[in-house]
């Protein structure tokens, strides 16, 4: 569920608004901080979008799940052995 963050231009108060989906419209909340007139809050960048780059996310995911993935994948396949075997098989193939 996407989260939109709105910020009041007058007092800086922030409010999070949950949207049903990425495409559903979000109504900007109003802030009643100053005076009787309500201030419509403006979209603020989500702190996640602002601070987390793709690289950060990958690094974070790796730190979190790296060991599990390694465990699930099992030991590193013996690439050399297989490479040699395919080499041998290739020699046995009839010429094109």
Give the footprint of Zn ion on this chain (CB under 5 A): 8, 10-11, 13, 31, 33
Least distance in Å: CB of 8 to Zn ion?
Answer: 3
Least distance in Å: CB of 53 to Zn ion?
Answer: 30
**Minimum CB distance to Zn ion smaller for 2 or for 9:** 9
State how far the Cα of 42 lies from the Cα of 50, in Å rounded to an integer: 16
**Minimum CB distance to Zn ion smaller for 10 or for 52:** 10
Looking up tokens 């075997």, which residue turns up?
85
State how far the Cα of 3 lies from the Cα of 46, in Å rounded to an integer: 8
State how far the Cα of 66 lies from the Cα of 62, in Å rounded to an integer: 4
**Minimum CB distance to Zn ion smaller for 40 or for 59:** 40
Least distance in Å: CB of 16 to Zn ion?
Answer: 15
Rounded to 10 degrees, the C-alpha dihedral 29/44/52/54 comes to: 90
């Amino acid at each position: 569920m996407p989260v939109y963050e709105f910020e009041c231009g007058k007092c800086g108060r922030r409010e999070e608004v949950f949207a049903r989906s990425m495409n559903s419209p979000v109504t900007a909340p109003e802030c009643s901080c100053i005076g009787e007139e309500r201030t419509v809050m403006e979209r603020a960048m989500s702190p996640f979008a602002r601070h987390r780059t793709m690289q950060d996310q990958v690094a974070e995911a790796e730190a979190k799940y790296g060991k599990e993935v390694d465990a699930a994948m099992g030991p590193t396949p013996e690439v050399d052995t297989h490479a040699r075997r395919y080499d041998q098989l290739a020699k046995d193939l009839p010429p094109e």
